[in-house]
Amino acid sequence: MTTPGAADRETWPLWEVFVRAGRGLSHVHAGSLHAPDAEFALRNARDLYTRRGEGTSIWVVPADAITTSDPDSKGAFFESPAGKNYRHASYYTASEGVPHL
Amino acid sequence: MSETSHADRGNEPHGEVTVDEVMLSAELAGGEGRAGSADVAEYALWLGDDALILSQQLGAWIARAPELEEDVALGNIALDLLGHARSFLRYAGTFDGRTEDDLAYWRDESEFRCAWVFQQPNGDFAQTIARQLAASTYLFELYTALQRSSDETLAAIAAKAVKEVEYHRDHAVQWTLRLAGGTDESRRRMVRAVGDVWPYVGELFRDEPLTDRLDGVAVRPSALQPGFDAVVAAVFAEAGLELPGGPMSSAGGRHGSHFPALGYLLAEMQVLARQHPGVTW
């Protein structure tokens, strides 16, 4: 962590913004922004992402705090279950005498 | 509140917003009310000019603020203020048949009625924040009280505006705390900015013959000072700033005598409407 203001063109840290559009919905990623700290990240998110009445609640998370999956290992990581019926419970027949299954 | 699903919104996260079909004039607070006397119209002019000039000043920050996000924040505040200005100026114009555009673009400097604190130049970011702190704290106290005006139109405009200026005040307070408590450089600038802006605060709380005559309609300026002082004292205490103790300016914006910077600001604001009368854009 460098001293704030030490570099001439130092930029503010990046924050990811999650907005909940209404009651009963989950927070959904809306975008990202720069802000000097969490309180301003919330205020900037309000100005950037909720001015048309989209939101009832905002989360901001430091982009650094998010661990992402590796895009290069997409093939192995998100391998489709298609053609692997044995992975589904319905593939198996219930044995006789087993109730409540 | 009804429950909706993300699927209901389809690919339209903002819902149906089509600006070209919105009648912007229908969105002004205060409806179709007409100013009942020259005094009421004059008072609406005071409030409208304060908001208009501050809005125009803040607009100059767009694309020049320290970060893109702050461009948007100041732009949003400027648009809120423009909405207040339009409502007040529309109302002021109803008395003698002038439109909000007549009042904004076709009056000369001496016909404006804005207080001097709103005319203070943007300066550096700290100076803009010091001006925002003084202006939005004052406007919050003013609109809170004006909601109880016996004039229904003024009360309606104030009721809509008070929520917006509360956010403007929060924005200014947050920045004041950060600049005052940031680096040596940011603190030096914030201290200087407060010293530059504060002499013009006194004018806001000076009772005038007009506000005396409009008892019950207008808010008595001196009555707003205790609330303003309490908020500022709390913010300055937290920020470790001292209230400048110097004399207050004899500023006379309510009588058409203005800070030298206003003329340049009006020239830029009015040039297009005056060079191309009747132009639409």
Q: Is residue B73 part of a domain?
A: yes
Residues B125, B180: Cα–Cα separation, whole Å: 12
CB contact under 8 A, B183 and A35: no
Q: Is residue B15 part of a domain?
A: no
Residues B87, B146: Cα–Cα separation, whole Å: 14
Helix, strand, or coil (residue B177): helix
Residues A30, A18: Cα–Cα separation, whole Å: 5
β-sheet bridge partners, residue A33: A15
pLDDT grade for B3, boundaries at 50, 70 and 90: very low
Nearest Cα of chain A lies from the Cα of B205 at a distance, in angstroms, of 30
Q: Is residue B219 part of a domain?
A: yes
Q: Does A33 touch chain B (CB under 8 A)?
A: yes
Q: Out of B3, B4, B67, name the one closest to residue A12 (CB).
A: B67
Given a cut of 70, whether residue B24 has pLDDT beyond it is no
CB contact under 8 A, B67 and A54: no
Q: Is residue B9 part of a domain?
A: no
Section B253-273 average pLDDT: 94
Residues B137, B154: Cα–Cα separation, whole Å: 19
Q: Tokens for B30?
A: 């205060």
In sequence order, the 6+-apart residues with CB closer than 8 A to the CB of A69 are A77
∠ CA A25-A26-A32, rounded to 5° = 125
Question: B197-226: per-residue pLDDT in tens?
Answer: 999 999 999 999 999 999 999 999 999 999
pLDDT of residue B21: 47
A contacts of B73 (beta carbons < 8 Å): 43-44, 47
CB contact under 8 A, A54 and B171: no
CB contact under 8 A, B182 and A54: no
CATH number reported for the structural domain that contains residue B97 in this entry: 1.20.1260.10
Task: For residue B52, give the nearest of B203, B244, B253 by alpha carbon.
Answer: B253
Q: Is residue B83 part of a domain?
A: yes
Question: B29-64: per-residue pLDDT in tens?
Answer: 777 788 889 999 999 999 999 999 999 999 999 999
Question: A39-94: per-residue pLDDT in tens?
Answer: 999 999 998 998 777 778 999 999 999 998 887 877 777 777 777 877 777 777 87
CB contact under 8 A, B186 and A5: yes
Q: Out of B14, B68, B171, name the one closest to residue A43 (CB).
A: B171
Q: Does A88 touch chain B (CB under 8 A)?
A: no
pLDDT of residue B267: 96
Domain count, chain B: 1
Residues B88, B48: Cα–Cα separation, whole Å: 5
Chain CA centroid to CA B61, Å: 15
Chain CA centroid to CA B110, Å: 19
Domains and CATH numbers, chain A: 14-88 (3.10.20.520)
B contacts of A30 (beta carbons < 8 Å): 13
Per the CB < 8 A criterion, the answer to whether B151 and B166 are in contact is no
Per the CB < 8 A criterion, the answer to whether B114 and B50 are in contact is yes
Q: Out of A4, A23, A53, name the one closest to residue B1 (CB).
A: A23
Chain CA centroid to CA B256, Å: 18
Residue type, B167: Y
pLDDT of residue A88: 79
B contacts of A32 (beta carbons < 8 Å): none
The ipTM, to two decimals, is: 0.70
Specify burial of residue B107 (Cβ count, 10 A radius: 0-12, 13-18, 19+): middle
Q: Is residue B7 part of a domain?
A: no
Residues A26, B24: Cα–Cα separation, whole Å: 33
Nearest Cα of chain B lies from the Cα of A38 at a distance, in angstroms, of 12
Within a 13 Å sphere around the CA of A84, how many CA atoms are in the beta-carbon half? 5
pLDDT of residue A74: 75
B contacts of A48 (beta carbons < 8 Å): 69, 72
Within a 13 Å sphere around the CA of B89, how many CA atoms are in the beta-carbon half? 26
Nearest Cα of chain A lies from the Cα of B25 at a distance, in angstroms, of 18
Chain CA centroid to CA A51, Å: 21
Q: Which residue has the higher pLDDT, B26 or B214?
A: B214
Q: Is residue B208 part of a domain?
A: yes
Question: B80-123: per-residue pLDDT in tens?
Answer: 999 999 999 999 999 999 999 999 999 999 999 999 999 999 99
Range of the domain at B72: 33-275
Given a cut of 70, whether residue B65 has pLDDT beyond it is yes
Given a cut of 50, whether residue A2 has pLDDT beyond it is no
